[in-house]
Structure 1
Amino acid sequence: MGPVVVLVLGLSCLLLFSIWRQNSGRRKLPPGPIAFPIIGNILQLDIKDITKSLTNLSKVYGRVFTLYFGTKPSMVQYGYEAVKEALNDHGEEFSGRGRFPLIEKVSKGLGLPSCPPFSLLPTPCRSRKIQSPVWRASCVTA
């Protein structure tokens, strides 16, 4: 076999695996438009008027639907009633925070302190009044 045939066959297998993996995880998620394997639903959204796009999608798929941004699924809750129902009835599932892999890698899982010399901003302690003596003692002042 030539190198072109091997390349086409390999890319086809990679594409089929990506589609299978996306569909296997989709069973647990709300309905939504079919996403492209690598770019997701970005082509189906009007970037200049995103509210119009979400309104149209909510008319087709209901108040709760799934959109893919790249390969990551995102659940969209459209409207006050959907958000209220989710927070009141399923508050435990929505109470956590998302992961931030870059911050976890930089801080080695310890989190980021908000006072110098460890913070990313130059002087956050000077910009607000800190009530706790522990925080006040750890802040560097000039």
Structure 2
Amino acid sequence: MKIARYLKQNRGQAVVETALVMPILILLLFGILEFGQVINQYIVLTAAAREGARTAAVSDDTAARTAVTDAVANISNNGLSVTITYQDGRRVQGKSVTVTVKKPIEVNTPVIRDIIESAFAPDPAVIAGRSVMRVEQP
């Protein structure tokens, strides 16, 4: 009899503890998921920069930009910028070409998006991928 009375008295405490801890756990879970998505965007941008640098090394800038755009097809390319620069300012065989791909971070969870926007307030947080290769054909 005493055990049943004891359990009834502590039931409200468990509900209050759950109500206090649950929002923190949910925010932590969504933070982990969003971090994974940002890392995925970074990996895709780095691969796209590598693809663009390889294409720029053997072809022209237009083909390199097309290669980058095709490489980022599985993520949103809103705000995507592609910069292609050559070592001496012009395309010379044996010199390097650098392709930089930048894009603002996209976060889907509203609370985390608000935290990121307030932390990086007038400028949005940007992720970038960069690759350097040697020009093979002039």
Instruction: Specify if TM > 0.5.
Output: no
Indicate the TM-score class for this superposition, using the shorter chain for normalisation: under 0.3
* TM-score normalised by length of structure 2: 0.27
Larger radius of gyration: 2
> When you count helix as a share of all residues, which structure comes out higher?
2
> When you count strand as a share of all residues, which structure comes out higher?
2
Q: Which of structures 1 and 2 has the larger relative contact order (alpha carbons within 8 angstroms, sep 6+)?
A: 2
* TM-score normalised by length of structure 1: 0.26
